[in-house]
Amino acid sequence: MRHRAIFCTLTTGIFASPFACAQSCDPARLSDLPSLPPLSTVSALGSWDPDGAGPLASQLIIAGEFGNGIKPFFNHIVAWDGSHLQALGEGLSVAPSAFAMFNGNLVAGGQAVAPVGGTSFGGIGQWNGTAWIPFPGEKILGSVNALRVHNGQLYVGGSFNIPGIAANIVVSDGTSWHALGQGLSAPVTCLEVLNDEIVAGGSFKTSGSTTVNNVARWDGHAWRPLGNGPGGSVASLAAYHGGLYAVSGNSLVSKWDGTQWSSFAPADLTWPVRVLTVHAAGDFLYFGGTFQTLGARPTGSIFSWDGSEWSGMQGGLRQGGSMALVGCMTDLNGELYVGGTLTHAAGTPANGLARWTGNTWRSTGSNWSKYSVQTVRATVDGVYALDSGNNIARWDAPNWVPIPSLPAPFTSLQIFTVQGRLFAVADRSKVFRFDSDFWTPIGDPLPTNVTTLVDYRGSLVAGGTFHNLNGVTYNGVATWNGATWMPVGAGFVNASNGSTGLTSLIVWNNDLYAFGSFTQSGTTDLEGFARWNGSGWIRLDTGGVPNPKLPIEFRRELVTLGNGAFRVWNGQTWRTEGDPFTGQIFDAKVYNGRLIAGGANIGGAPENDLVEWTGSGWQAIPPGPSLTGALPDGTVLSLDSFGGDLHVGGNFLFVGSDPAYNFYRLTACSRCPCDLDSDAAVGDDDFLLFAAAYDTLECGDVAMPAGCPADFNRDGAVNDADFILFITAYDAQLCP
């Protein structure tokens, strides 16, 4: 058997070397992928290859309003290279409406294309890779709505007039503007290519004396009609499988088959329907706007057509609890990018911009939603986060991915980690377990209000302020026996107000403890602290401090962080460490041997939203989260660790001066790497975890925990060398 001899020699004290697992380094923020900030609205999308046929990848170009009304993040335009957002100079004063790549430059069209702090170029300008410069030819006075490159020339449509040349549509050879026949009589909103001809859509009716009715094709000499037109002003065009699809002024889609126009839309689309844009990419035709369902299938303002079937695209997009507005689409590197007013794509955060891979939605960058992150919880397979809009997503570096919604409607949601798995409580009464790709209900709903879930000796225990249901009295505590919820003894009552008074449950030293303001359990008098002995709740002393709160295990003792004091229970008596402190602590976690707490103004200092316990007081972990990038005025609501990193969620937009939208990560060398269960001690539970990793051996094995934490010497395997390090720490027991 491999490396068994040394492993079986474990005895306390046989190694006299120093505490080999101890290291020291300060926490540092990991660099997450940046993303668009909350409350962003994307109004135009395009692509640009900065070096043409060179090695650099094409970039997604994004235009819109970026920011939260407090501080601008980018000035109306930004490029995404697949891993970073890149500013284009100082940006533009107004968001452009259209993009094209022409003669190696990025061309932008809009109402007034002007670099921030510079002079307007009129309706069109270009980025040459280092600066914004005018486009060759006479200045366009008016607005440019559409750009299209065809046969080496740039076609420009909008609402403008170039004296002596043409109105509303022109073409450039890269040097000067040229008329296209007699132009078009009213604004052009979109351009497309069909059968090797440029097709224009808009509100025009004529070209000279020729009637064209909102859609016209350029045959190289004159503008020609396409039948009698689609029946109204055209907002968007797309060529797909030999046909032309137009979104007309009545927000419906019409199809031109070469000889006539016909209505084209799913018969079971829920009204009112407002289709705003259509885009063809690969084998699919995509429709965006504001609408909700396709028959029984939710579409969320976007759906697709593959030539024979309609798809709701996994429920599509939404803006908080309302319909999203999809205003633009483009494709890049085989994926569809969708912009508009939206916060989520299925369950994935999407701050104005979403990415469709062909079978699922992804965020662009590591962004979270416009809502604050309420809870971050790590399981055996990853990190999950819940925001204040009741959305859950899983962190799959470098971005978030959605998980399926709960099977029943709900108005409130909480998430917990129990037995290494993700649990949720909907409407504070319905308990669910997440099983890889679906939610399993755990029995019938409990009475409202469930506030905590824990694992006690293999059983799921729920705690809260609930009392009775269907003749069963729970008084704040219930356990799941595999078939039904059962009371845990007589539960708890606060005799002064009739509530349960329960605020927390925690398992410590394999026993179940309860904290709160309760005064009784059946006929037993209590003072807010009790232990379950298997048949009833035993009164424990609170040390003269009522209503102990926020319990956590640290260095083999129970610590409470509520009531402005760091108090420690050793199993027999209480003691207080450090001085009393002000502020609020919302969550705490032992991370790499450190006790980290998150909240607001902890210790009275505004920068103390994420702090570390020093042994006598709280010390800020800089730079702090903030809403403005200047004052440390953010709030940390939740913490958890996974894969060697600390994941932080809350309500903030910056960490220091760097964007971090309600979520960021920290890393730090462990002060106690052998503390595998994160309780700031190295004991028997850590031994069991190490033994399992030792049996697995290779860090690359799928059975090995994420990050291979038991590989202390980082040689890619958990072997005898790691065992020697572990046994030394096991002998020392407490982390330094």
* Per-residue pLDDT tens digits for 378-420: 999 899 999 888 889 898 877 788 788 888 789 999 999 999 9
| 393: its two tokens | 């997503």
Q: What is the pLDDT of residue 11?
A: 33
- Predicted confidence band of residue 730 (pLDDT cuts 50, 70, 90): confident
pLDDT beyond 60 at 667: yes
Higher pLDDT, 222 or 436: 222
What's residue 68's pLDDT?
Answer: 55
Mean pLDDT of the 642-668 span: 88
Beta bridge partners of 403: none
DSSP-based three-state secondary structure for 97: coil
- Tally Cβ neighbours within 10 Å of residue 12: 9
Instruction: Name the pTM for this structure.
Output: 0.81
74 confidence band (pLDDT: 50, 70, 90): confident
pLDDT of residue 65: 92
**E-strand spans in 527-593?**
529-532, 537-539, 551-554, 557-560, 566-569, 574-577, 584-591
Three-class secondary structure of residue 23 per DSSP: coil
How sure is the predictor about 270, in pLDDT bands with cuts at 50, 70 and 90? low
Higher pLDDT residue, 233 or 632?
Answer: 233
Specify whether the CB–CB gap between 461 and 454 falls below 8 A: yes
Furthest C-alpha separation in the chain: 101
pLDDT band at residue 685, thresholds of 50, 70 and 90? confident
* Contact by Cβ (8 Å): 556, 679: yes
Q: What pLDDT score does 5 carry?
A: 37
Average pLDDT over residues 272-277: 78
Cα within 13 Å of Cα(611), Cβ side: 29
C-alpha to C-alpha distance for 702 and 690, rounded to whole angstroms = 16
pLDDT for 369 beyond 80: no
In this prediction, residue 6 carries a pLDDT of 40
pLDDT for residue 660:
84
**Residue among 369, 342, 291, 316 at smallest CA distance from 41:** 342
| Percent of the chain whose predicted confidence (pLDDT) is above 90 | 62
CA of residue 123 relative to chain centroid, distance: 36
Residue 467 pLDDT more than 70? yes
Residue 134 has a pLDDT of 97
When pLDDT is cut at 50, 70 and 90, the band that residue 4 belongs to is very low
Q: How much is the pLDDT for 38?
A: 80
Contacts of 470 (CB under 8 A, 6+ apart): none
Q: Which residues of 120-131 are buried (b: 16+ CB within 10 A; e: fewer)?
A: bbbbbbbbeeee
Beta strands across the sheet bearing 243-248: 234-240, 243-248, 253-256, 261-263
* Nearest residue to 357 via CA among 396, 414, 321: 396
- Residue 15 or 284, more confident: 284
Between these two residues, 546 and 422, which has the higher pLDDT value? 422
Cα separation, 617 vs 576, in Å, equals 11
pLDDT for 19 equals 38
Q: For residue 9, is pLDDT > 60?
A: no
Alpha-carbon span 385 to 405, nearest angstrom: 13
Q: What is the pLDDT of residue 277?
A: 94
> Which region, left, alpha or beta, applies to residue 476 given φ > 0 means left and ψ of -120 to 50 means alpha?
left
Instruction: Tell me the pLDDT band of 705, cut-offs 50, 70 and 90.
Output: confident
Tell me the pLDDT of the chain averaged across its residues: 89
pLDDT category of residue 733 using cuts at 50, 70 and 90: confident
Cα–Cα distance, 277 to 302 (Å, whole number): 10
The rounded distance, in Å, linking the Cα atoms of 36 and 191 is 28
For residue 17, count CB atoms less than 10 angstroms from its CB and return exposed for 0-12, middle for 13-18, buried for 19 or more.
exposed
- Structure confidence at residue 72 as a pLDDT band (50, 70, 90): low
Sign of the CA dihedral running 437, 438, 439, 443: negative
Helix then strand count (H, E) for the chain reads 2, 71
**By mean pLDDT, which of 75-84, 157-166, 576-585, 652-661 is the weakest?**
652-661
Q: What is the average pLDDT across 514-535?
A: 96
Provide, rounded to the nearest whole percent, the portion of the chain with pLDDT above 70: 93
Q: With the CA atoms of 459, 465, 467 and 473 taken in that order, what torsion angle do they form, in degrees rounded to the nearest 10?
A: 30
Nearest 10 degrees: CA dihedral of 488, 494, 495, 498? -90
Indicate the DSSP class of residue 106: E
> pLDDT (tens digit, 9 = 90+) per residue, 135-145?
999 999 999 99
Q: Is the pLDDT of residue 18 over 60?
A: no
What are the structure tokens assigned to 481, written together? 């026996």
The answer to whether residue 24 scores a pLDDT higher than 70 is no
Most confident of 287-291, 628-632, 672-676: 287-291
Quickly list H helices, 48-153.
none
- The pLDDT of residue 669 is 79
* Statement: residue 681 has pLDDT above 90: no
